[in-house]
A and B are shown apart, each in its own frame.
Chain A
Amino acid sequence: NAGVTQTPKFRVLKTGQSMTLLCAQDMNHEYMYWYRQDPGMGLRLIHYSVGEGTTAKGEVPDGYNVSRLKKQNFLLGLESAAPSQTSVYFCASSYPGRRGNTEAFFGQGTRLTVV
């Protein structure tokens, strides 16, 4: 059982380049999330999805787009990367439970540097 898998783990981009981060979960979770974490700070929610075909904006959505075409995958796109998007990106998934939502499972992160 792999849990939440993020691809790639590391990437260096030049300003203006585009890329897609892939998140895959094998737990049949309804909810999926993308966060970013800057040095010394907590995680900030970028976008999230409550089911296949749905997406919604989080706290810091500007400069990012997402898609959830399949339940198990959640893609995060950067159309034109900027140095301010240098960060560690975490994907997570969870599902609704009777006692609040169940625990969120996080991937191991993608370290992105934009030069």
Chain B
Amino acid sequence: AQSVTQLDSQVPVFEEAPVELRCNYSSSVSVYLFWYVQYPNQGLQLLLKYLSGSTLVKGINGFEAEFNKSQTSFHLRKPSVHISDTAEYFCAVSEGAGGTSYGKLTFGQGTILTVHP
């Protein structure tokens, strides 16, 4: 079984500042990792995913994340945030190659990012 912990429930930042949203996971098997964003009253939208290969993955809207296997982390970063980045961000994992979970995503508790002018 997997679990995901998002270490910060809320992150307030000023516009144009850098931001890091932290995500740690636990799993006994290899994993695939995802970050989703949820804007108010909307569904979840994929920001980026790590399946294999380069541990630094780039996503939409200038976000990137780095997979660190030894620290079981997948932190999300953006060098300069905009007001429009205000949303809730969810880290998620699924079983990697050879897994039998049929695409089951396990989500973290979410981090609310609030960008202030």
Q: State yes or no: do A and B come from one complex.
A: no
